[in-house]
Chains A and B, each alone.
Chain A
Amino acid sequence: DAGVTQSPTHLIKTRGQQVTLRCSPKSGHDTVSWYQQALGQGPQFIFQYYEEEERQRGNFPDRFSGHQFPNYSSELNVNALLLGDSALYLCASSWGQGNTEAFFGQGTRLTVV
């Protein structure tokens, strides 16, 4: 079992550009959540996808959008990048609609210059 896999591991973008991050959930999981972790902070919830729909969203602007595919993998898109978007982006997968345990990937380190 490969666990939760994220790509790429590192990324450098320029202000104003757009970026897409990818996540493949753990085998058997159908729910994907995305978190943003700034340096020295705890992860902050961005949104969660279940059955290809956004089920819940945190306090992030519309520049942050996502998608879930029929195979349960997911993408996080960020438009009009700001310097403040520099962070570690973590994907977590879980099963079903309840508060089941989530498993986290290794993250994508995004640097905006």
Chain B
Amino acid sequence: KQEVTQIPAALSVPEGENLVLNCSFTDSAIYNLQWFRQDPGKGLTSLLLIQSSQREQTSGRLNASLDKSSGRSTLYIAASQPGDSATYLCAVTSGTYKYIFGTGTRLKVLA
């Protein structure tokens, strides 16, 4: 059974810091890994999608990497801003079509 874990559960950093969020999964037979952002009480905004054949994806200040063999992904946020404060969720898909989510990392960037 696929399980997704995110560490840390919460993170507070001063503005301008570079930071890394971690995601691990137990079954390496995945199709995609996706990072989402969720603002309080809101839906999910897709940040980056990494297909199983890819090693990383980049969008602006965000970079996500994928290591299937070790069951790990990292989301790197460069030069953090207060507007980056949100919960970041990692999810994987496999042959069953559904997303399996971690419990998220709550990020607070202090001005």
Contacts and interface: CB of A to CB of B under 8 A. Distances in A.
Q: How many of chain A's residues touch chain B, expressed as a range? A: 20 to 34
Given A43-B99, A55-B97, A99-B31, A109 B41 contact: yes
A42 B5 CA distance: 10
Contacts of B4: 42
Interface string B35-58: 010000111111001000000000
Interface in B39-92: 41-46, 49, 89, 91
B89 A42 contact: yes
Contacts of A109: 41
Interface string A72-108: 0000000000000000101010000111011111110
Contacts of A35: 99
Contacts of B41: 88, 107, 109
Contacts of A33: 97-99
A40 interface: yes
A106 B98 contact: no
B101 A43 contact: yes
B98 A56 contact: yes
A42 B103 contact: yes
Interface of B: 4, 31-32, 34, 36, 41-46, 49, 89, 91, 93-104
